[in-house]
């Protein structure tokens, strides 16, 4: 009885009595969701264009952030460090294409998936070897990101909005908008969509797969860098960031592997749902349900829409 009460009644009572807490929780969740969305976005970009389920996206986030901070620590000015990091991400994209994707062309999906695992291990080892395993502080203020919080009076309480979170949201929306424009309006964007539709057809009209893959991996690397800066500014830069990549996986199944809007909406749903569940329902289950709540949520969605919220309808032929 007690458990039922704590599941079905108590959380709603709490929500009613302290609406400011609910709003604060929702806001925190949505902001975390923006970051999940960004990681999922990196996944989707690569999956759409090459059919590779890129498990290394999470570690690319860490790697990009570490490179940025590590360069700054060696006395390179912040903006120059940013430029060099972007160059490093480009180098990574070229390297991945040359050494991993090209020899593995035409292999089954699971083989490519495992190869990105190998990449994950490689990047973890490499990053730690070069920059050390200690947590680092993100150079947020040096990059011109705002600090501090805005407190808003609301329903008899305060809701505090971190400025960095607002900045993250704005930057994320700008990035998604520019990506969408890039995909829809430019020549390369059209080529990307063609490759996403069919590798063979794209090849036959003269699109270079190699070039497209480099571009896509580079775009995913840029998204990873932005994610790394945002997440690093909220907490710190360390390999624990890798965990958030696992949080982005349910976002993917929620939104569909091939849908950019799906990644955004899915991320927001997972972020908000997870925080609300943890704060209001967590105590009933002994806490830490954040670990699997997103997966449970995604599973429930999947049972009704196997292709995700925005995924293309799966048509199967024998």
Partner 1 sequence: MLYREAGQFKTSYAADQAIFPIRQDRWLLLAALAVAYIVVPLVGNEYWLLTIFIPVLIYSLASLGLNILTGYAGQLSLGTGGFMAVGAYAAYKLATAFPGLNIVFVVLLAAFITALVGLAFGFPSLRIKGFYLAIATLASQFFLIWLFNKIPWFVNNSPSGVISAPKRAIFGQLWVTGAEASPAARYLFVLTLVVVMTVIAKNLVRGRVGRAWMAIRDMDIAAEIIGIRPLRTKLLAFAISSFYCGLAGALVAFVYLGSVEATAFDLDISFRILFMIIIGGLGSILGNFLGAAFIVLLPLLFENGPPALGFNIPVNIVTNLQQMIFGALIIFFLIVEPRGLTRLWQIGKEKLRLWPFPY
Which residues sit at the interface with partner 1, rule CB under 8 A? 53, 99-100, 103-104, 107-111, 113-115, 117-126, 128-129, 133, 246, 249-250, 252-253, 257, 285-289, 291-292, 295-296, 298-299, 302-303, 306, 308, 316, 318
The 3-class secondary structure across the chain, one letter per residue, is CHHHHHHHCHHHHHHHHCHHHHHHHHHHHHHHHHHHHHHHHHHHHHHHHHCCCCCCHHHHHHHHHHHHHHHHHCCCCHHHHHHHHHHHHHHHHHHHHHHHHCCCCCCCHHHHHHHHHHHHHHHHHHHHHHHCCCCECCCCHHHCCCCCEEEEEECCEEEEEEHHHHHHHHHHHHHHHHHHHHHHHCHHHHHHHHHHHCHHHHHHCCCCHHHHHHHHHHHHHHHHHHHHHHHHHHCCECHHHHHHHHHHHHHHHHHCCCCHHHHHHHHHHHHHHHHHHHHHHHHHHCCCCHHHHHHHHHHHHHHHCCCCCCCCCCCCCC
- Nearest distance in Å: CB 306, partner 1: 5
Instruction: Choose between 127 and 228: whose C-beta lies nearer to partner 1.
Output: 127
Instruction: Choose between 99 and 137: whose C-beta lies nearer to partner 1.
Output: 99
- Nearest distance in Å: CB 107, partner 1: 5
Instruction: Choose between 75 and 103: whose C-beta lies nearer to partner 1.
Output: 103
Instruction: Choose between 103 and 148: whose C-beta lies nearer to partner 1.
Output: 103
- Nearest distance in Å: CB 91, partner 1: 16
- Nearest distance in Å: CB 33, partner 1: 17
Instruction: Choose between 207 and 246: whose C-beta lies nearer to partner 1.
Output: 246
- Nearest distance in Å: CB 143, partner 1: 28
């Amino acid at each position: 009885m007690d458990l039922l009460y704590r599941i079905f009644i108590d959380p709603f009572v709490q929500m009613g009595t302290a609406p400011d807490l609910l709003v604060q929780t929702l806001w925190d969740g949505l902001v975390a969701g923006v970051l999940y969305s960004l990681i999922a976005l990196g996944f989707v970009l690569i999956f759409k264009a090459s059919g590779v389920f890129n498990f290394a996206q999470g570690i690319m986030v860490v790697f990009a952030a570490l490179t940025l901070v590590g360069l700054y620590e060696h006395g390179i000015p912040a903006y120059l460090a940013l430029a060099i990091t972007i160059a490093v991400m480009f180098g990574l994209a070229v390297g991945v294409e040359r050494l991993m994707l090209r020899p593995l062309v035409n292999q089954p999906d699971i083989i490519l998936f495992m190869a990105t695992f190998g990449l994950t291990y490689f990047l973890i080892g490499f990053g730690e070897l070069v920059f050390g395993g200690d947590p680092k502080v993100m150079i947020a203020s040096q990059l011109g990101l705002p600090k501090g919080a805005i407190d808003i009076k609301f329903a008899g309480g305060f809701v505090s909005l971190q400025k960095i979170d607002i900045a993250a949201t704005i930057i994320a929306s700008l990035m998604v908008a520019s990506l969408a424009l890039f995909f829809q309006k430019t020549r390369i964007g059209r080529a990307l969509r063609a490759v996403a539709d069919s590798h063979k057809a794209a090849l036959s009209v003269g699109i270079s797969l190699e070039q497209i893959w480099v571009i896509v991996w580079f775009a995913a690397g840029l998204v990873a860098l932005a994610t790394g800066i945002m997440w690093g500014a909220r907490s710190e830069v360390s390999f624990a960031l890798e965990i958030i990549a696992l949080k982005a996986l349910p976002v993917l199944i929620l939104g569909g592997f091939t849908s950019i809007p799906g990644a955004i909406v899915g991320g927001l749903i997972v972020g908000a749902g997870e925080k609300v569940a943890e704060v209001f329902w967590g105590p009933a289950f002994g806490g830490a349900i954040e670990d699997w709540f997103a997966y449970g949520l995604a599973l429930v969605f999947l049972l009704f829409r196997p292709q995700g919220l925005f995924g293309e309808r799966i048509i199967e032929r024998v």
